[in-house]
C-alpha cells in the first residue's frame, strides 16, 4: 500500500490546534484550513504548510482530511455548504471524524460518503489541547476493518 503524504486539517480551536502543532513538529506537511478562528494557524503557515480557502479544494489535493470542529452547524457547513467536502471527495479519501456533533447528522454524512466510495472513521478524542500538542491524545477509533487497514498504511 502507498503511504499517504497529503494530509489536511480543518479546525483549530481545541484539539485541532494541538494536533497541527504536533504534526508540524514531527515534520509532517499539512494542508490547512481555518474554520472559524484563523489565529491558531499562524505557526503552521510559518512552518511552510499550505493553506486553502475552501473545503472542496482541501479534498481535491489530499488523500485524507482530519476534521476537528465543534457543533452540528459547523459540520453541516463543511459537508453541505458552498464548495463543501462532498464536492471534492474522491475514491479512497479518508475522513477521520474528530467532530463533536449529532449522531444522526454523521449517519447522514456517512451515507453520502459511502455513495462516493469515501470512508469515514469515527475517532472521538479524549484529552486536552496540551496533550494533543504533545502527541499524547487518547483516540477511540470505530471503522470498518478495511478502513482501519488502509488508514494505518496510509497515514
**CA R_g for the chain:** 14
The CATH number of the domain where 120 resides is what?
3.40.50.720
Domain for residue 2, yes or no? no
Residue 118 pLDDT > 60, yes or no? Answer: yes
Q: What is the pLDDT of residues 28-78, one digit of tens each?
A: 888 888 766 677 777 778 777 888 888 888 777 776 667 777 777 888 888
Question: Which range of residues forms the domain containing residue 148?
Answer: 7-154
Q: What is the pLDDT of residues 76-103, one digit of tens each?
A: 888 888 888 888 777 667 777 777 677 7
pTM: 0.72
Does residue 11 belong to any structural domain of this protein?
yes
Residue 3 confidence (pLDDT) above 60: no
- pLDDT band at residue 21 using 50, 70 and 90 as cut-offs: confident
Sign of CA pseudo-dihedral 107, 112, 115, 116: negative
pLDDT value of residue 113: 83
For residue 10, pLDDT beyond 70: yes
Query: d(Cα 76, Cα 68) in Å, to the nearest integer?
Result: 13
Question: For the chain, what is the mean pLDDT?
Answer: 76
Count structural domains, the chain.
Answer: 1
Report if residue 1 sits inside a domain. no
> What is the per-residue DSSP string for 39-86?
GGGHHHHHTT-EE-SSHHHHHHT-SEEEE--BSHHHHHHHHHSTT-HH
Residue 145 confidence (pLDDT): 75
Amino acid at each position: 500500500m502507498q503511504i499517504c503524504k497529503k494530509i489536511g486539517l480543518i479546525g483549530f480551536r481545541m484539539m485541532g490546534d494541538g494536533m497541527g502543532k504536533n504534526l508540524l513538529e514531527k515534520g509532517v506537511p499539512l494542508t490547512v484550513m481555518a474554520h472559524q478562528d484563523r489565529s491558531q494557524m499562524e505557526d503552521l503557515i510559518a512552518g511552510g504548510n499550505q493553506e486553502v480557502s475552501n473545503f472542496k479544494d482541501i479534498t481535491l489535493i489530499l488523500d485524507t482530511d482530519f476534521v476537528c470542529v465543534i457543533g452540528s452547524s459547523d459540520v453541516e457547513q463543511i459537508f453541505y455548504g458552498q464548495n463543501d467536502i462532498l464536492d471534492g471527495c474522491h475514491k479512497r479519501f479518508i475522513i477521520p471524524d474528530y467532530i463533536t456533533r449529532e449522531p444522526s447528522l454523521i449517519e447522514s454524512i456517512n451515507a453520502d460518503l459511502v455513495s462516493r466510495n469515501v470512508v469515514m472513521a469515527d475517532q472521538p478524542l479524549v484529552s486536552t489541547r496540551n496533550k494533543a500538542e504533545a502527541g499524547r491524545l487518547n483516540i477511540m477509533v470505530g471503522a470498518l476493518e478495511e478502513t482501519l487497514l488502509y488508514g494505518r498504511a496510509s497515514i
